[in-house]
Structure 1
Amino acid sequence: MSGESPESDTKEVIVTSVNGTRTQIKALVTRSEGNVVDLAIQVVPARGPAREAMRLRRDDVTRFIAFIEALRFVDPTTGESRVRVDDELLSKFLRDPESVKAVYREDPAALRELIAEDASATDVIAVAHRRSAVAEFERLLNDSEHFESQRGESKGPESVWQAFFERNPWVLGIGLSDQLFTSFDEDRLEKTVLGSDIVGPGKRADALLKTAGAVRSLVFAEIKHHRTPLLGKEYRIGNYPASSELSGAVAQSQGTVHAAVERIGHRYQQRTADGFDVPGDYLYMVRPRSFVVAGDLSQFRDIGGGMNDRMVTSFELFRRNTFEPEIITFDELLERAKWITQASS
């Protein structure tokens, strides 16, 4: 149709399906970028040219569609000879939860599209999603049966947390540090980098992140699980060494970062999927930050809720003197996620 963009798409809809000499009614619907921008109703007689009965454009189309939709929720048995559908009636309809639910059941995609275009609604959805993620985080941490149900057969405990952080990378992004971290790879946190990539054969980062800002740097994280023991058996009275699992995770992280720095140097050039350099898109690796997420500080608490002061002291001395990687426990990460979610609501 004249005046429409090249991206416009016009479809013909037969309103009445008739044969013989009866008149046919057609609707010509023109959409552009997913929105109806033109609606023409034509009367097509058996003989002779088609006659245009009505044409609506843009905002008028939207109002007409809303009018037709609203008619489905108007009770014609009110006793009045006519029912007027105006903005007030539409407002009442939208304030009725049952009516909105009915519309959602009829066309959920349309409502989702409206919400996606509403900044305030998007914010509400984002906060709701974060609250849901925090609730799931807390349940995985404290409900053993639920955690086991997520493991499935032949899956280790680390896989549950890897999957959770893949679905909710923001928990690591704002929970590990006062810096904002984002995923290095938009598709997944875990990165096994071979050949021309980051770390080289045989090395894997459970989460490869990058800092946000004018200068961006790579960040590495090893994700264990909340049952990872933090301390081993008492070595001397009041002194507890780091567990073999925790010290092993530290060594693994250090080896991964060392291999990456040796392979790449102090700066990593971002490339396209076809192998071309992205001009000016660098990630720096000047003593890149690294993290180990493991264990739960409640390991130092007895059944009555009392803390073992010597265990706490031994653990804090170990991690405060382990500069690379930084060690954070799952319960600490949860509390950070809780605080961020509450502050943004």
Structure 2
Amino acid sequence: MSDELTYHLNKVPGKTYMSRRIVVHDDKKLRHASKVLDLDEGFIYAKEKDEIVIRKTEGGRKEIIAKFFEDSRGVSVVTLQSFNPSKGIPQKTYFSFVGSEIGQVIEFFHNVFNYQFEDGGNVNITDAELRKIILSQTQAKSLVKDNQDLFVEALLTEVTSKDVVALGYRKKQLDVFSRLLEDPEYFDHVMEHKNCRGKEDLWQKYFDKNKWVFGYGLNYVFVTGFEDRKLEQIVQGSDLINKGKRADALMMTKGVISSLCFIEIKTHETALLESSSYRPGCWSPSRELVGAVAQVHGTVASASRNLYDQIRPVSADGNPTGEEVFNYKPKAFVVIGNLQEFVTEHGVNKEKLRSFELYRSSVNDVEIITFDELYERSRFIVHAENS
């Protein structure tokens, strides 16, 4: 038995064998790579009574040999060789593929393995068309495999493309909210760019574009603004009733019965407490905070007295908008200030924080929330939706 045949018979399936380097013309570095396959059985074509059939044969060893250049890894020749199962010697029949034929054969095997048949009919398709189909199917399978949890969640929650767009928009607007709170130069730039009359007006315009902040950030109910109107409404004006007290946010809560939501918006820089203590350890709420609570209380009381139990809003032309608002017990919110007011260089001023919290909890029918609290609630909701 020759050394070459002994070497072949001693090869182990599951391993790739690389030859030593061979320098050929133009100093190119050539190597041989080989891999053996031991098969329990094989198949051959045979002719029986003028009919071509596939016949099962005894298995044996097959070897794939590739000649390639070490530098470019360009494969020059691929040979498929069968061996006699009993003697282990090469059989006369073998196939060699040269140059571009190799890539075509690989693509052929890849396409045969991956093509999804729709029925029992024949298929005639160009390589270009087949390549597109196989690529799309492979990408789809890979996408599903790599994102199984996401697809399960999508099926359970029926996530749509609109939901994805809405979430992306909210993330961006959340970043804007953060910068408006923390970056005075950015705040002044936006206020000038938007031609705002003041800081309250800028917040008014921001919340006009982001009504979801109130709906999800306050009572965690879905809220929509009145159709084709700005967020700020004249509650007692010509289109509703009486004279012009203003609530900074009159909104319609979706549900079986809709209720009015009155939101008074101040600024993130508005003081929550007076600058000096009323008594040692006791701090009074600021004039702006007391005034905002009084204003929203008065708006709610006036609305409760004067508006009909059921309001059917109309447009500027007097046409019904189709909305219905039931005014049994309106909700009311005051958005004002920032809890950072109580943070000092060495920690939180507990007496000031206690004074504010005691006042806040003593106010009935109006929820007082600071801008940083509203931001944190909104951030939690966006992150919860994202996950």
Give the alignment's TM-score, normalised by structure 1: 0.63
Question: Which stretch of the first structure deviates more once superposed, 267-276 or 123-132?
Answer: 267-276
Q: Is the 8 A contact 1:199 1:259 kept in 2?
A: no
Q: Which amino acid aligns with 2:198?
A: G
Q: Which amino acid aligns with 1:151?
A: M
Counterpart residue number, 1:65: none
Q: Distance in 2 between matches of 1:134 and 1:91?
A: 41
Q: Which amino acid aligns with 2:353?
A: V
**Cα deviation, residue 87, structure 1:** 6.8
Q: Where do residues 34-73 of structure 1 align in structure 2 (5 Å cutoff)?
A: none
1:249 aligns with 2:292: yes
Distance 1:261 1:249, change over 3 A: same
Q: Distance in 2 between matches of 1:219 and 1:261?
A: 12
Q: Is the 8 A contact 1:199 1:256 kept in 2?
A: no
Q: Distance in 1 between matches of 2:259 and 2:164?
A: 31
CA RMSD of aligned residues (A): 3.1
1:163 aligns with 2:208: no
Q: Distance in 1 between matches of 2:240 and 2:234?
A: 8
1:302 aligns with 2:351: no
Distance 1:198 1:328, change over 3 A: farther
**Cα deviation, residue 123, structure 1:** 2.4
1:341 aligns with 2:386: no
Q: Where do residues 131-280 of structure 1 align in structure 2 (5 Å cutoff)?
A: 131-152=171-192, 155-193=197-235, 195-198=237-240, 200-232=242-274, 233-271=276-314, 275=318
Counterpart residue number, 2:66: none
**Cα deviation, residue 180, structure 1:** 2.6
Counterpart residue number, 2:46: none
Give 1 or 2 for the bigger CA radius of gyration.
2
Counterpart residue number, 1:322: 363
Aligned residues: 245
Q: Where do residues 22-41 of structure 1 align in structure 2 (5 Å cutoff)?
A: none
Distance 1:141 1:320, change over 3 A: same
Where in structure 2 are there 5+ consecutive unaligned residues?
A: 1-125, 140-157
**Which string of whole-angstrom CA distances, capped at 9 and with x for unpartnered residues, describes residues 92-111 of structure 1?**
69x99xxxxxxxxxxxxxxx
**Cα deviation, residue 275, structure 1:** 3.3
Q: Distance in 2 between matches of 1:199 and 1:228?
A: 31
The alignment partner of 1:287 has SS state of coil
Indicate the structure whose relative CO is greater, using CA pairs within 8 Å and at least 6 residues apart. 1
**Cα deviation, residue 201, structure 1:** 1.8
**Cα deviation, residue 169, structure 1:** 1.1
Q: Distance in 2 between matches of 1:165 and 1:190?
A: 10
Where in structure 1 are there 5+ consecutive unaligned residues?
A: 1-82, 97-117
Q: Distance in 2 between matches of 1:307 and 1:172?
A: 28
Distance 1:146 1:272, change over 3 A: closer
Give the alignment's TM-score, normalised by structure 2: 0.57
Q: Distance in 2 between matches of 1:145 and 1:303?
A: 23
**Cα deviation, residue 88, structure 1:** 4.2
Q: Which amino acid aligns with 1:204?
A: R
